[in-house]
């Protein structure tokens, strides 16, 4: 197939990752052509959205000439600017303090991403050190939502979400320690899976992060891309502490099966904080009605686990873990982090972590493990549990101000994401899928939560919903033309 540049750009923008891989496999396009289409699209849209903050275009061009096999051979991809190590490239986590940090090795996740055939074009924007559900670091400036640039694209994977929604790339990396994949997926009308604890290895540098509550995965525009990406990247390394069960068939093959009649619970009650925004309540109700029409047994159920208290314990735990992270980073940077290096919120978080005694820290860890047990026991009767992703609509740019110096006051605002961290600390698989759009064309997502190790069921249900209520052809205001 011979394409002119406009034709290639249109084809690139309208295709998901698996379709692009098929085009490369059948030699209708080349990997190098896709890379140039991605670079052209990024050059055109990134000044409007500020999604990509580290560009590795020359490396991508080299990778494209060496592209071989893998299910995503030749497909452009963006890493997130936090967590994943890519040898020889910068990784800043949105911090001026580590703006010169260069990765010394590939993490296992990056090795698998490369083995799957992806071509890495750079890294996407994150809030400073990641702990925010918006993406507005001082180092790079805010990322904007391609659906409505006045509201946040979410965080901390906001740069990846904006890039995928606007068609810069069909898929990009996300990480999730408190909703950081699912929140931006909801804000940007995408599919965002947080897998089960242990499904993706932390190795080789880490055994676990936040006691297995941080997850590495991706944001996509289609359920099938999510399933295929899970097939390509899932797996443990020797010594990993968690080993979730494997499905009988691949996740991609599994979504082709019509789900059996599922018992699905749903809630219209927030665990704590303000009631759902009307548009959010409508999204949950409409999804529950749709699921019932698809043949599932749907019933209302409200969580009784005290998530408000668990949230406080979760923040005590992760503030101490953040101290350990910065102590380790100081060995690389050559100096301890100082107050001037961080926004007030992150400095407050460090100060909180340093102030806690060993017994207080141990008590917080024990409390979140108990909350894990309670959540799993409470939801076990359901094959899937349905919640909103966010209890409110995406907030205006600037709402999540990390210049807030009071750690407790800032985290009290996180009731918007009340249904997020519960499935980080419990390790249950959870994914956000597009549900509705407001009159202003702002996406609203809902969350499917499955039993531990059962990504297959929520992926199959999401695929059924995607077929019944397609979202792929919806286009944000800032988007590649097609």
**Which is catalytic among the residues 31, 84, 107, 156?**
156
Q: How high is the pLDDT of residue 2?
A: 39
Q: How many CB atoms lie within 10 A of CB 292?
A: 14
pLDDT band at 5 (very low <50, low <70, confident <90, very high): confident
**Is 194 a known active-site residue?**
no
Residue 107 has pLDDT above 50, yes or no: yes
pLDDT digits (tens, 9 = 90+) for 425-476: 999 999 999 999 999 999 999 999 999 999 999 999 999 999 999 999 999 9
180, 186, 348, 426: the active-site residue: 180
- d(CA 232, CA 250) in angstroms, rounded, equals 10
Catalytic residue among 15, 31, 80, 160: 80
Residue 424 has pLDDT above 60, yes or no: yes
Q: Which of 28-37, 77-86, 253-262 has the lowest mean pLDDT?
A: 253-262
320 contact partners, CB below 8 Å, separation of at least 6: 353, 356, 361, 364
pLDDT of residue 4: 52
Count the Cβ atoms, other than its own, within 10 Å of residue 208.
16
User: Where along the chain do its domains lie?
Assistant: 5-468
Question: C-alpha distances in angstroms, 234 versus 172, 199, 214, 217, 250?
Answer: 16, 6, 15, 9, 11
Catalytic: 25?
A: no
SS3 464: helix
CATH of domain 5-468: 3.90.1300.10
Residue-wise pLDDT for 375-389, tens only, equals 999 999 999 999 999
366 is catalytic: no
């Amino acid at each position: 197939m011979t394409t002119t540049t406009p034709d290639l750009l249109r084809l690139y923008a309208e295709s998901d990752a698996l379709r692009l891989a098929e085009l490369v496999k059948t030699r209708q396009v080349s990997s190098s052509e896709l890379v140039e289409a991605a670079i052209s699209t990024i050059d055109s849209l990134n000044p409007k959205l500020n999604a990509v903050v580290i560009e590795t275009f020359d490396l991508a061009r080299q990778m494209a000439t060496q592209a071989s096999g893998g299910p995503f051979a030749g497909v452009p991809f963006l890493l997130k600017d936090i967590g994943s190590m890519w040898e020889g490239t910068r990784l800043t986590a949105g911090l001026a303090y580590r703006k010169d940090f260069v990765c010394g090795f590939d993490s296992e996740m990056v090795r698998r991403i490369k083995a799957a055939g992806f071509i890495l074009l750079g890294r996407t924007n994150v809030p400073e050190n990641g702990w925010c559900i918006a993406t507005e670091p001082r180092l790079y400036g805010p990322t904007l939502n391609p659906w409505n640039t006045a509201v946040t694209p979410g965080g901390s994977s906001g740069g990846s979400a904006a890039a995928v929604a606007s068609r810069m790339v069909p898929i990009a990396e996300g990480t999730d320690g408190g909703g950081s994949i699912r929140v931006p997926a909801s804000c940007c009308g995408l599919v965002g899976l947080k897998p089960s604890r242990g499904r993706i290895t932390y190795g080789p540098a880490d055994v676990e992060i936040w006691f297995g509550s941080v997850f590495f995965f991706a944001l996509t525009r289609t359920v099938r891309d999510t399933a295929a990406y899970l097939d390509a990247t899932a797996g443990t390394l020797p010594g990993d502490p968690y080993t979730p069960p494997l499905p009988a068939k691949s996740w991609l093959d599994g979504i082709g099966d019509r789900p059996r009649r599922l018992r699905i619970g749903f809630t219209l009650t927030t665990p704590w904080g303000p009631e759902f925004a009307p548009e959010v309540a409508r999204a949950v109700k409409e999804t529950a009605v749709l699921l019932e029409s698809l043949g599932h047994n749907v019933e209302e159920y409200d969580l009784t686990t005290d998530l408000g208290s668990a949230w406080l314990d979760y923040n005590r735990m992760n503030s101490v873990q953040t101290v350990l992270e910065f102590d380790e980073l100081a060995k690389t940077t050559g100096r301890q982090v100082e107050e001037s290096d961080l926004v007030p919120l992150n400095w407050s978080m460090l100060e909180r972590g340093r102030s806690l005694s060993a017994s207080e820290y141990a008590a917080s860890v024990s409390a979140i493990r108990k909350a894990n047990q309670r959540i799993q026991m409470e939801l076990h009767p359901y094959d899937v549990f349905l919640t909103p992703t966010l209890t409110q609509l995406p907030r205006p740019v600037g709402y999540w101000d990390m210049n807030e110096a009071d750690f407790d006051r800032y985290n009290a605002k996180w009731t918007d994401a009340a249904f997020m961290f519960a499935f980080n600390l419990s390790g249950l698989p959870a994914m956000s899928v597009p549900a509705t759009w407001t009159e202003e064309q702002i996406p609203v997502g809902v969350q499917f939560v499955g039993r531990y190790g059962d990504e297959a069921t929520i992926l199959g249900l999401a695929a059924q919903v995607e077929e019944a209520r397609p979202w792929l052809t919806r286009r944000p205001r800032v988007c590649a033309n097609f």
